[in-house]
Amino acid sequence: MRYHTPQTFEDAARIAAGAAGVTRFLAGGTDVLVQMRSGLVLPDDMIDLKHIPGVRDIARTADGGWRIGVAVSGAELGEHAALKADWPGVVEAMELIGSTQVQGRATLTGNLCNGSPAADSVPGLVAAGAMVTVTGPSGSRDVAVETIPAGPGKTALAPGELISAITLPPRGAHGGDAYLRFIPRTEMDIAVVGCAVNLVLDGDQIASARVALGAVAPTVILVPEAAAAITGTALDAAALEALAGAASAAARPISDKRGTADFRTEVAGVLARRVAEIAYARAKGHAK
């Protein structure tokens, strides 16, 4: 195995583009190193991104959003009061990942690019409308985060491409987001279903919303029908019912050792309802 420590994303992309065998980028390593230890993945080239200047920065963008470096750990996100105030759902999702030790390493970008349909931070990013900057041998482009996952363990990134930053849009007034996952235990587990809701209020009415589901399809999915079910409502009982129905209808889960398809379908609706209520309360300014 060759271990690389490029100083720029362009260099990282060039190394990746020139590599012939199995290539992995190293952010926190909490997926990659575990996969290596179990013999699942034995990379020929390992490209460590942590030597690139700025990868551990969280910065306010000119328009009031946030730019998050690709090596920012979950613990660092959790300590960032201003970011957490804007996007509590994104941060709480990231903070669910692993243990205290894992939190010191694990990153949003790694979680996204590992390609797990159950990745906890991804529904929150999708609901928030996050963008990612993709850097390749021929330059950079910004794309919506939901275009990256392509199936279990797969991303839409071309060989030689990598993510150089994640950007969250400006929160604006009267907005709130939240994430919940279902696991049989209380921690150290993998989501059987995950759901994130992000909404903006106009008075008591929901002016706009985004709803994303995890672990119920080959990738994290954005569910416009679920958002439509609550948009224009004050999240009354009927709206919550409609939301649950839409979320369950959008779920296309499999049955596996972690849960049956029926279970995931039903719980997707249950979680959507519960998450929407938290996001709504946050948008109203009620701490929850």
Partner 1 sequence: MAKDEMTREFKLVGTRALRPDGLDKVTGRARYGADFALPGMLWGAVVRSPHAHARIVGIDAAKALALDGVKAVVTRADFPAGLTGSDWDIQENVMAGEVALYDGHAVAAVAATSALIAQEAARLIEVSYDLLPHVTDVDAAMRPDAPAIRPGSADHTVPDGMSPNVVSYIEYGRGDLDAGFAEADIVREQTYKSEATHQGYIEPQACVGQLGADGKGEMWVTTQGQWYVRRDCANVLGLDVAQLRVTPSEIGGGFGGKTTVFMEPLALALSRKAGGKPVKLVMSRAEVLRATGPTASASMDVKIGMKKDGTMTAGRVEFRMQGGAFPGSPVPDALKCAFAPYKLPAVLHIGYDVLANRPKAAAYRAPGAPMAAFAVESLVDEMARELGLDPLELRQKNAVEEGDQSSYGPKFRKIGLKEVLAAARAHPNLAAPLGPNQGRGIATGYWSNYNGDTAVSMAVAEDGTVQVSVGTPDIGGSRASIGLMVAEYLGIPYESVRVNVVETGALAINEPTHGSRATFANGKAAVAACDQAIKEMCRRAAADWGIDAEAVEWIDGAAQPAGPNAGKFPPMSLAEIAGRMSDSGGPIAGHFEGIPRGVGASFGTHVVDVEVDPETGRTTILRYLVVQDAGRAIQPAYVEGQYQGGAAQGIGWALNEGYVYGADGRLQNATFLDYRIPVASDLPMIDTVIVEVPNPGHPFGVRGVGETGIAPPLPAVANAVAAATGVRLRELPMSPPKVLEAIRGRRDG
Q: What's the closest the beta carbon of residue 13 comes to partner 1, in angstroms?
A: 30
Residue (134 or 239) nearer to ligand FAD, CB: 134
Residue (105 or 282) nearer to ligand FAD, CB: 105
Residue (154 or 252) nearer to ligand FAD, CB: 154
Of 56-64, 129-137, 161-169, 184-192, the window that binds partner 1 (rule: CB under 8 A) is 184-192
* Residues 190-229 close enough to bind partner 1 by CB under 8 A: 190, 192
Verify binding: residue 100, partner 1, rule CB under 8 A.
no
The dihedrals phi and psi of 200, each to the nearest 5 degrees, come to -125, 135
Residue (24 or 171) nearer to partner 1, CB: 24
Verify binding: residue 184, partner 1, rule CB under 8 A.
yes
* Interaction partner, residue 199 (partner 1, ligand FAD, none; CB < 5-8 Å by kind): none
Residue (123 or 175) nearer to ligand FAD, CB: 123
Q: What's the closest the beta carbon of residue 229 comes to ligand FAD, in angstroms?
A: 26
Q: What's the closest the beta carbon of residue 74 comes to ligand FAD, in angstroms?
A: 7
Residue (188 or 238) nearer to partner 1, CB: 188
* Interaction partner, residue 262 (partner 1, ligand FAD, none; CB < 5-8 Å by kind): partner 1
- C-alpha to C-alpha distances, 79 to 166, 186, 195, 273, nearest whole angstrom: 18, 22, 23, 28
Structure tokens that stand for 64 in this block: 């009031």
Q: Which residues of this chain interact with ligand FAD, rule CB under 6 A?
A: 24-32, 34, 49, 70, 96-99, 102, 105-107, 109-111, 113-114, 119-120, 157, 162-163
Of 51-59, 78-86, 199-207, 264-272, the window that binds partner 1 (rule: CB under 8 A) is 264-272
> Which candidate, 257, 243, 239, places its Cα nearest to that of 195?
243
Q: What's the closest the beta carbon of residue 109 comes to partner 1, in angstroms?
A: 22
Tell me which residues touch partner 1 (CB under 8 A): 38-39, 182, 184-190, 192, 256-260, 262-263, 266-267, 270
